[in-house]
Amino acid sequence: MSTERVRVGVVGASGYSGTLAARILARHPRFELAFATSDLRRGRPLAHLGIRGAGVLVANGEACDRASDCGAVVLATPPEVSQKLAPELRRRHSAVVVCDLSNAFRLGDEAHYGLPELFGRPVSMLVANPGCYPTATLCLLAPLVASGLVEPEIAVDAKSGTTGAGRQAKEEHSFAEVDENLRAYKIHNHQHEPEIAAHLARRGGTGVEITFVPHLLPVRRGILITAYARLRAGIPVAAPEEALRAFYKDSRFVRVVAPHEVSLAEVVGTNDVAVAVSVRGRSVVGLASIDNLLKGASGQAVQNLNLAFGLAEDAGLDHLERSAP
């Protein structure tokens, strides 16, 4: 295997996920940060992102030209930007792997859905990085559903820190609105609900009805999922935990733990997924937690690039940061 460093660009590097992607790539043992873009902060030094060395943020419009000597480009851009930029990058640079963090390509056939624990290494030059809620929910539910252990009606109570909404200045995400508060939002109307249903179906969950209710937590980072299901008749109560442990026995990042060990504190600052299940009678309660900015976005993007270039899955992901960008 070649030891030459792979140059990677980040488009949209001033948002939370883009900033962390740029930082991880700048410190990666085998990747090199080739460029980082931001229309909002163009001209500012990369030190503005906490990255040592020379260089400045450039305009998004320079991405295609600067990608000419890159092996990959990460798009930390809104879906409408990704929908235009990804095809242009692929047209001009056919050997470049494009990893998109938006939801622009997650439901189509043109991209590889980049959840390695369920769908393996990327087999396409365009990778659709999963959303943070779907990553946690699918890692928890897919082994249970695919094994036919639970009834096809599942309720998912999902909670996210405020960085899950990005860096946009919205009133509902202000300190005064979030502090000492907890509320549900986008009930029956969240953009990640169809993503969860579609990819759960791909793993054998056809016909499963998901009721997904997200909540906003008064914390910066982290996702906590609590799922409620019914054990199918005749299934032993130990079967769900056994299925999770068997499915993830060789996983680098998914840890099957006791229910009380699933928490934000255990995963924030890591690329890990903590999953657990508790069964009483036919009542099944599943739990999962991730860092929404790492395993839910930038960490998973680097994990996908590692696999795409034949590197160790955890390269550059063993020493991450716990503070918000």
Q: Report the distance separating Cα 71 and Cα 115, nearest Å.
A: 20
What backbone torsions phi and psi does residue 224 show, to the nearest 5 degrees?
-125, 125
The catalytic position among 64, 70, 99, 132 is: 132
Active-site residue, 99 included: no
What backbone torsions phi and psi does residue 29 show, to the nearest 5 degrees?
-70, -20
Neighbouring residues of 265: CB distance < 8 A, sequence distance ≥ 6: none
- CA 80 to chain CA mean position, Å: 19
Q: Which residues are catalytic?
A: 132
